[in-house]
Amino acid sequence: DAKTTQPPSMDCAEGRAANLPCNHSTISGNEYVYWYRQIHSQGPQYIIHGLKNNETNEMASLIITEDRKSSTLILPHATLRDTAVYYCIGGYSSASKIIFGSGTRLSIRP
C-alpha cells in the first residue's frame, strides 16, 4: 500500500473551505486514494475515495493531480463539527488492508 504524507495540523475559519493536502508520490496506477476522518472518541468514518478523476459527494470533494502524486480533500463550508483527524490512505481496496498514517488534525475556528 502507498505511503502518504500529510501535515500534522491545520486550522480553518468556520464557514470557509478547508483544503487538506496529501502527498502520495509512490502510489501505483491502480491504487485508490481514500479519505477517512476520526472525530474525538469515535471510530474513523469514510469520507470519499478516487482513482484518477475528481470526486464529489455530500461530504466533500477530492481533487487528484494528473500525475496522481498528490490530492486535496475539500470541505466546502467547514463547521465546528468538522473538527477531527483526517487520514489520507492509498490502497487497492478500502475493504482490504489499508494503512492509516498519523493524519492531519483539523481545527475549525469559530
Partner 1 sequence: EAGVVQSPRYKIIEKKQPVAFWCNPISGHNTLYWYLQNLGQGPELLIRYENEEAVDDSQLPKDRFSAERLKGVDSTLKIQPAELGDSAVYLCASSSPSGLADNEQFFGPGTRLTVL
Q: Residue ranges of the alpha helices (H) in the chain? A: none
In this chain, which of 41, 53, 67, 81 binds partner 1, going by CB under 8 A? 41
Min CB(61)–partner 1 separation in Å: 17
Cell 500529510, located at residue: 6
Residue 46 Cα distances to 34, 62, 109, angstroms: 8, 13, 23
User: Between residues 14 and 23, which has the closer beta carbon with respect to partner 1?
Assistant: 23
Determine the size of the site formed for partner 1 (CB under 8 A). 24
Interacting positions 78-97 with partner 1 (CB under 8 A): 85, 87, 92-97
Min CB(23)–partner 1 separation in Å: 16
Residue 88 Cα distances to 35, 55, 77, angstroms: 5, 15, 20
* 53 touches partner 1 by CB under 8 A: no
Tell me which stretch binds partner 1 (CB under 8 A): 11-19, 20-28, 37-45, 54-62: 37-45
Sign of CA dihedral 50, 104, 95, 97: positive
